[in-house]
Structure 1
Amino acid sequence: MNRYFENAKGILKRLKSKGYDAYIVGGYVRDKVIGLKSDDIDITTSATPEEVDEVFENVKNTGRKFGGVTVIIDDHKYEVTTFRLEGEYAKHRYPKDVSFSKEVFDDIKRRDFTMNALYMDENENINDKFNGLKDIEDKIIRTINDPKERLNEDALRILRAFRFVSKLGFDIELETLAAITSLKHLVKTVTIERIMVELDKIFNGDYQKKAIKYLVKTGISEELYGIDKGLEYISNIKEFVYPLEVFIISDILGDLEDTWRFSNNNYRLIKQVVNLHEVTKENEFNKYILFSNKLDPCLLTNRINVLLGYKDQKQFIMDMYKDMPVMDVCDLKFKGQDILALTTMNNRRLISLVIDDLLYNVIMGIMPNEYEVLKQFSLRRVAELQKEMGDLNE
């Protein structure tokens, strides 16, 4: 038994026992029809948030202004929203005003696509006012009513269309596709954070390539802050490309704009891999590159190189990694404190130069990682640096 689903039906029954209409709506119903597992149940009802409060014990306030509360049963959360009518939209994203309704049709007709306008009662009967079942059968993504009006209201719906292509493999209906193409400029009215959320879902879907081809075909890719050349290239290769790889390839092939909001770690990784690509795309990795950049960034760079048509060096990298004489500076048999103990040098910047020289020579196999060998090299190098400093001071 699916306790999550059974509890949702229990919510419907409880609301109906109190005289309210209530249905499971949207993505859960769509996925159930398609045969996909879903763990995101939304409920729509004629009850107001205050009335929902009176029916259930554990209710959290998550969007009361817009008619939404969260009902918690057995640690499961259910978004319960009052039937709504929406007025004009502001900035192609949010309704200026929202009013509650007692009719489910008022709520259903404001939704984005026909397949998302299905709603289910407590007996699992599915209601379909916009031929969503037929569109699911035909594997079609179609807006409810006029596509230009629907997409102009909320520009995020444009990206959601591609997300559903990537998830389901459906085609976009021709009038909807034409509207997306004509309204492509509206994508830039969506916040970059929200764009990145949708792109992450697009790039992670089972039908990623189909969705990316649509992004390129409609010109939406040109509105996405410098990833158009990357997307065009990726649309023509067979391999699956992970989200961060899309941005790396786009930065290599085009000019990734600073608009994107990456974590500090991902920003540094993108720049590191782009720089490594320039060094290794036509040349072999070596142990010093591997030591300086670490294994995972080198493997990622190699994957990017391969995706861009360059030689695959993965096995070569792994063999080098297994044969590395040192993995960290602390693995050197002769260290910075030895230089301090055996010489008069106390300039830490110059000591770092000596240690860097030791690392390079040991890693590249020029000298063994043996105390006496490294000691003699270091003493000579210290003397050279001290002489150079003395000459500069004369």
Structure 2
Amino acid sequence: MKEPFLSAIPVLKRLEDAGYEAYFVGGSVRDYLLNKTISDVDIATSATPEEVKEIFPKTVDIGIEHGTVLVLVNQQSYEITTFRTEGEYQDYRRPKEVSFIRNLNEDLQRRDFTMNAIAMDRDGTLIDPFNGQLAIRENVIRTVGSANNRFQEDALRMMRAVRFVSQLSFSIEEETRHALAELVPLLQNIAVERKRAEFEKLLVGKNCNKAIEILLETNIFSFLPGLADQKKLIEKLVDFDCDGLTKKEMWSLLLFCLSVKGKAIETFLRDWRLPMKEIKDIQQILFFVEKRLEQEWSVYDLYSAGSDTITSTEKLYNKINGLNGSESLQYWLNLYQKLPIKQLSSLAVTGSDLMEWFNQQGGPWVKETLLKIEQAVINETVENDKKTIKEWLKRCQKLE
């Protein structure tokens, strides 16, 4: 066993010492068996939320109605969830009621896929009533029990299945895939924010191209914002090598494939409920990608874009043109690093200086003059020095 399980063992021990069962469950156990990096662990226990709170002095109720309590131990936090069964589901997403139970197998039975229905005790012994280890060895995504039932309980599980294809490079078992294709219209009942969370994880997975093919084959794409009736354009995305692209870069590449431009970019991404900061970043990337496809970087464009956007733009430019491009990316970044200034606030003069020098009130001329100075400094026409700039401006004025 390894971290972060080792640090969490005392949490399981305290629950057991109080007379309850406690296990590591879910994705952390799956990833442990796949020898993947594990960021945190989830713990399931036979103790009720109230009993958990009696054992640990520092807790936070983060989902107590569903049996989850956040426990703070040794400057670490752990989500501890009581074994439970779920009643009839509503809206194809949430159970109408949750019942706390004392039986681990019944708790594992309610989970989505067999690979996620494995528990592990503090000695590293695995409890695997639904053959999740076999699914992991076979690289197969298979539902616990009837796929029809699991997807009708929670329609988002269909997108989770495809997301795992992208992240784990697994395939979807035939019965599970058949049920997915048949029940895909249920996705219209799922909130956009939840679909976006799964879609974004899918976009940055190592097997993204295969996952997108499945989105197209099963018609999932028709129930995602802005993608209905865009099958031919989405297929373009499959042709690109998406390895190494970030979330924002993948959104940008998708929009490029869809030929979404200008104001339509914001509309499209707002429909996906993306934060405005991310929308602005993606708009900027696409602006410079379009420009880069027409010409090489100018010094002022490098300055305007900044290192992050230069990196994203150049990566996408190379992907679109089927180039390796690591050397060209470094070339442009080196050129950017040599710029005299990286932002307007680094300019040696301000609007107040200009008004004082020319004894004039503020107005559009101040902004225009600052832009003129900014461009001159970036192009190294004039040194970024207050006195030098003042003399340069006076010479320019005389020439006019």
Equivalent residue, structure 1, for 2:278: 266
Mapped to 1, the partners of 2:30 and 2:348 lie a distance apart of: 64
- Summarize the Cα distance change of 1:204–1:246 in structure 2 as closer, same or farther, 3 Å threshold: closer
Q: Are 1:289 and 2:295 matched, yes or no?
A: no
Residue 301 (structure 1) aligned with residue 313 (structure 2): yes
Kept in 2: contact 1:20–1:46 (CA 8 A)? yes
Q: Structure 1 stretches (4+) deviating beyond 6 angstroms?
A: 330-335
Q: What is aligned with 2:61?
A: 61
Larger CA deviation: 331-340 vs 214-223 = 331-340
**Aligned letter for 2:368?**
L
8 Å Cα contact 2:200/2:247 also seen in 1: yes
Q: What root-mean-square deviation, in Å, do the aligned CA atoms of Structure 1 and Structure 2 show?
A: 3.3
Look up the SS of the partner of 1:314 in the other structure.
helix
Partner deviation per Cα, 1:251-293 (whole Å, 9 max, x = no partner): 2332451212333332212112222233331222212322333
Q: Determine which of 350, 354, 358 is the counterpart of 2:365.
A: 350
- Matches of 1:167 and 1:334, distance apart in 2: 50
Q: Share of identical aligned residues, percent?
A: 34
Cα offsets for 1:316-344 (capped at 9, x unmatched): 63464356465555777887566545656
CA distance in 2, matches of 1:172, 1:63: 31
Q: Does residue 378 in structure 1 map to residue 397 in structure 2? A: yes
Determine which of 235, 238, 244 is the counterpart of 2:241. Answer: 238
> Is the contact between residue 332 and residue 359 of structure 1 (CA under 8 Å) also seen in structure 2?
yes
1:129 equivalent in alignment to 2:129: yes
AA in 1 matched with 2:49:
P
Q: Following TM superposition, by how much is the alpha carbon of 1:188 offset from its aligned partner in structure 2, in angstroms?
A: 4.0
Q: 1:158 to 1:352 in 2, by over 3 A?
A: same
Cα deviations by residue, 1:112-167 (Å, 9 ceiling, x for unpaired): 00111122344433222222121111111101111122012112212222332233
**AA at the equivalent of 1:267:** I
Partners of 2:141 and 2:394 in 1: CA distance:
71
TM-score between both structures, scaled by the size of structure 1: 0.82
Indicate how the Cα distance of structure 1 residues 212 and 347 shifts in structure 2: closer, same or farther if over 3 A, else same.
Answer: same
Quote the offset at 1:349 in angstroms.
Answer: 0.6
Q: Which residue of 1 aligns with 2:329?
A: 314
Look up the equivalent residue of 2:174 and give its one-letter code. L
**TM-score normalised to structure 2 length:** 0.80
Q: Which amino acid aligns with 1:244?
A: K
Count residues in correspondence: 380
Q: Deviations over 1:198-237 (max 9, x none)?
A: 3333333343343333333333234332366775333222
Counterpart of 2:254 in structure 1 is 250
d(CA) in 2 for partners of 1:182, 1:53:
43
Whole-angstrom distance in 2 between the partners of 1:329 and 1:46:
60
Distance 1:364 1:43, change over 3 A: closer
How do 1:157-168 and structure 2 match up within 5 A?
A: 157-168=157-168
Partner of 2:211: 211
Which residue is equivalent to 1:185?
185
Question: Which range moves more in the overlay, 289-298 or 149-158?
Answer: 289-298
User: Does residue 221 of structure 1 match 2:221?
Assistant: yes
Aligned partners of 1:58 and 1:289: how far apart in 2? 52
Alpha carbons of 1:61 and 1:310: their partners in 2 closer, same or farther (altered >3 Å)?
closer
Q: Secondary structure at 2:225's aligned position in 1?
A: coil
Distance 1:51 1:333 in 2: 64
Distance, in Å, in 1 between the alignment partners of 2:348 and 2:37 is: 57
Whole-Å separation in 2 of the counterparts to 1:323 and 1:58: 52
